[in-house]
Amino acid sequence: MPVLLAAATIVWIFVFLLPGDPARLMAGGQSVDPEILNSIRHEWGLDRPAPLQYLCYLEKLIRFDLGTSYVQRRPVVSIVAGSFPPTFILAVTALLLATGAGLVLGSLAALQRGRLLDSFVLILALVGTSMPVFWLGMILMLLFASRLGWLPVLGYGMEGAFIPFTSVRLPEWDHLVLPALTLSLVSLGAIARITRASLIEAGTSEFLQTARAKGASRARVFVRHTLQNALIPVVTVIGMDFAGLLGGAVATEYVFAWPGLGKAIVRAIGLRDLPVVEGGVLFLTAVFVLVSLAVDLAYLYLDPRIQYAPSG
Amino acid sequence: MSRVGTSRCSRPGGARGLLVLTLLAAAGLAGACGRSGPPAPSSEQVYRFRLHEDPPTLDPALANDEFSESVVLNVNRGLVVLDPKTLEIQPAVAESWTVSPDGLVYTFRLRDGVLFHNGRPVTARDVEYSFERLLRKATGSPRRFLLAPIAGAKEFTAGTSASIAGLAAPDDRTIVLRLAKPFAPFLSELTMANASILPREIYDDPRKAYLRAPVGCGPFRFSRWEQANFIELLAFDRYYGGRPALDRVIIRMIENKTSALQEYIAGGLDSLDEPPDDNDTAMMAKVGPEVHRFPFMGTGYIGFNLALPPFKGNVALRKAFNYAVDKQYLWGVLFPGSSTPANGIIPPGIPGHDPDLPGYPHDEAKARNLLAQAGYPAGNGLPPISCWVNTGEDNRRIAEQVQSDLKKIGVDITIREVDWGAYIAAVSGSPEKPGQAPMFRSGWSLDYPDADAILRPLLHSSNWGPSGNFGRYKNAEVDRLIDQALVVTDPKERADLYRRAERIAVMDDPPWIFLNYYQARTLYKPYVKGVVLSPLGKFRLPLDRLRIERGST
């Protein structure tokens, strides 16, 4: 809760300090009657002193009310609820891709340490991490969609199925591939490198000799002992990356016209739709906190040395 | 929770092994994807075009941008409509109208058989309701000024009157509007999307469902809107003008210009508002024949802040800057095909446009002389000048070229590129206080084809600040001519008054560097027929004339 309160306050201050007049942008156009501007300011409480605006904002937050969009004139909650699922689906898919490929490549690199494959994976990881997402997305689009025609160029699709009992529509699966692949390459490098490093470190542990001495096969030693123990730092990286992917999918969403929350927040900043910026960032902060908690719990699960100690 | 040392291999690890395998399998599944190209053509008439982002609103009263208007104008209809080709005012919900000789009373006869999309007939009561709604303060319309000329409108908005004195519906098919004083462009204003006729039973909904599901009486009915993804419209079978040829319209939100072009080439869009630059020969080789160019009602300029030095009261300096800029190079070489060089304010095609206005052809020698006359020989003594631009590659390139041209006569300016919110705050200021930007790149697209729609907001001294006259231009003779033209009903006389006002503002007392008259450039697939290349621009277009004829070229 203190984290969320601090986040809410920081976001509010930054948003408040943005240059520009929200009423001016709400009115739209280049020519606006000053009397209309004044009535917009009054209607939305923008003519009140800043501390009062802040207190009103907090008072609404306490009631779980994120306010109403200046531009769309509907609750911010419904805007966030509409744009978060596409971002979540994209981030989860990207993370699954990055994790799968990262673990495989990292493992191969560790097993082939010092050889050509290892160098290849290291270079690939470096390139994947270093390339700007925007540029990478465009390259993948030009290659797989425009030139080869294997995949749609962009978009979420119009005909995906709805998740039962919700108004959340899934993307058409082929529309998901390129943006997810683009986004996954951001994390893939980090996961591959940490997997490689952890496996190399775990590979020198004495408990592996014990396992081998007990007659365990090479495959069993690798999967059950080496890889499993090496996963702990990997899970930490994955957790951090997932939170980062949720907030950092903006460039991918922009390139592939993906209707996600990151893009909605950036657009709201441009329009000075302050309630959407505040609500969106606060929601992502809450998700970040929850993901961090989940990572801690996973850490507890994966590492037998971590246990709940009896209090007192 | 605390860390307690135990053996790493002591704990059964079945579930953990499963986790590892699940991650690997999921990654594999997600990656095992096949191909799928753009939607296959079918016999259904579907037209797909792109907006850069969601329209801010679909409520006609609130629409104040071309993205909103692109939808609103096709879902709704007003009393009258602009013919996109000729720009003449045509009947819409009103089948005919008369104007009293004194220009004060407009009497409209409504067409029989006009239906809202919910099946209810449109009556004069709906016109009354829609106009009251637009004027009501609680609606918050930024364009209620469109109906302000009606007698009693201001009192109604202020809440001092429960009804609008100049608005009456004597029967179900007649609506009478009485103006407080003659206002020549009034009929043009009624063609705006904001003056659409709306059904009370939908727009009085306290839950405001109409914001996401509007109902009108236009050629297309709203079907669905997925945020930041698409809007779908369907043909309205009982449209008074006859069912449109298109069965469906899909409006796709694609912000990135490059991605949108790739989608157009791949066949996912039937038109695109941002073709590749003419200088992009590789792309133009692919889509060049599909690029349509046509002038539209807009003028681009670089404004001076006339309330602050060095431009305040210094006509010679403003003229020097005008002569220094090479507009032929800008629109002939740097942005070929996107605009034509401007010699003034009123764009071609608008009554009052003066093709004989000399303007300021590029002349460095004259610019240097005028700069010296202005008190700044070779630019010496000029204070720091910044030119503010709204974020965007084209805006930046234009400003950089102007910067380079001014440098040639010894004037150094800096460029401030900021986003729209910061830009408009820095440029427009308030009615009381000037903006901070000494120079600013801007443009103006006319709401309707009348010179008043550009001269009044941008140059009349009553519109200083956010109302449009950002540079705080004030010229008593220009004010007088603009005011006089507003009450004159003879079109020729009006055009002459506007020509005189423009000539003063351009040749005697320039408030801007006059840059360009806009040209629209749009891509249309060859199978899209019935395209109107309209001075209204790329978005404010009726789609009921379009049809798809696949197989044709």
Domain boundary among the residues A13, A35, A62 is at A62
Shared domain check, A43 and A111: no
Regarding whether A184 and A90 lie in a shared domain, the answer is yes
pLDDT at B32: 38
pLDDT in the model for residue B40: 45
Task: Give the domain-ending residue among A20, A35, A62.
Answer: A62
In a domain, A310, yes or no: no
- Give the CATH number of the domain where residue A208 resides: 1.10.3720.10
Write out chain B residues lying below 8 Å of A74, CB-based: 208, 211-212
What 3 state SS string does B476-520 have? HHHHHHHHHHHHCCCHHHHHHHHHHHHHHHHHHCCCEEEEEEEEE
Within 8 A of A73 by CB-CB distance, chain B residues are 57, 59, 62, 208, 211
Residue A245 lies in a domain: yes
Give the pLDDT score at A201. 84
pLDDT given for residue B552 in this prediction: 56
Q: Domain check: are A98 and A236 in the same one?
A: yes
CA distance B358 to B364: 16
Nearest to A73 among B9, B144, B211 (CB): B211
A27 and A164 in a common domain: no
Q: Which residues on adjacent β-strands are paired with residue A307?
A: B2
Task: Report yes or no on A307 lying in a domain.
Answer: no
Please compute the mean of the pLDDT values over residues B19-35 and round it to a whole number.
37
Mind giving me the DSSP string for A229-246? Answer: HHHHHHHHHHHHHHHHHH
Indicate if A54 and A128 belong to the same structural domain. Answer: no
- Among A80, A103, A153, A229, the strongest candidate for a mutation testing the B interface, having the largest count of B CBs within 10 A, is A153
Q: Over 70: is that where the pLDDT of A20 sits?
A: yes
Number of domain units in chain A: 2
3-class DSSP assignment, residue B174: strand
Beta bridge partner(s), residue B89: B82
Tens-place pLDDT, residues B208-220 = 899 989 999 999 9
> Is the peptide bond preceding residue B438 cis, with omega within 30 degrees of 0?
no
pLDDT of residue B454: 95
Say if A247 falls within a structural domain.
yes
Full domain range(s) for residue A8: 2-62
Q: What is the pTM of this model?
A: 0.86
Q: Which has more confidence, B359 or A244?
A: B359
A56 and A195 in a single domain? The answer is no
Q: Cβ of B208 and A152 within 8 Å?
A: no
Burial of B14 (0-12, 13-18, 19+ CB in 10 A): exposed
Residues A26 and A120 in one domain: no
In this structure, the answer to whether residues A10 and A152 fall within a common structural domain is no
Q: How far is B98 from chain A (nearest CA, A)?
A: 30
Cβ <8 Å between A225 and B430:
no
Same domain as A129, residue A54: no
The reported pLDDT for the residue numbered B493 is 95
Q: Do B37 and A152 touch (CB under 8 A)?
A: yes
Question: Which of A305-309, B64-68, B258-262, B486-490 ranks highest by mean pLDDT?
Answer: B258-262
- The verdict on A214 and A90 lying in the same domain is yes
Whether residue A70 lies inside any domain: the answer is: no
- Check residue B417 and give its pLDDT: 94
Residue of A nearest to B59 (CA): A72
A277 and A225 share one domain: yes
- Closest residue in B to A81 (Cα) is B227
With 0-12 CB in 10 A as exposed, 13-18 as middle and 19+ as buried, what is B289?
exposed
pLDDT tens digits for range B430-466: 878 899 999 999 999 998 999 999 999 999 999 988 8
For tokens 């449209």, the residue is B239
For the segment A228-268, what is each residue's pLDDT rounded down to a tens digit?
777 778 888 888 888 778 876 888 999 999 999 999 999 99
Residue A69 lies in a domain: no
For residue A312, being part of any structural domain is answered with: no
pLDDT of A311 reads 54
What was the pLDDT predicted at A307? Answer: 64
- The H-or-E segment that residue B30 falls in is helix B14-31
Average confidence (pLDDT) over B401-423: 94
Interchain CB contacts (distance < 8 Å): A and B: 252
Same domain, A94 and A38: no
Domains detected in chain B = 2-71+207-288+522-548 (3.40.190.10), 80-203 (3.90.76.10), 295-520 (3.10.105.10)
The answer to whether residue A308 sits within a structural domain is no
Give me the pLDDT at residue B429, please.
Answer: 83
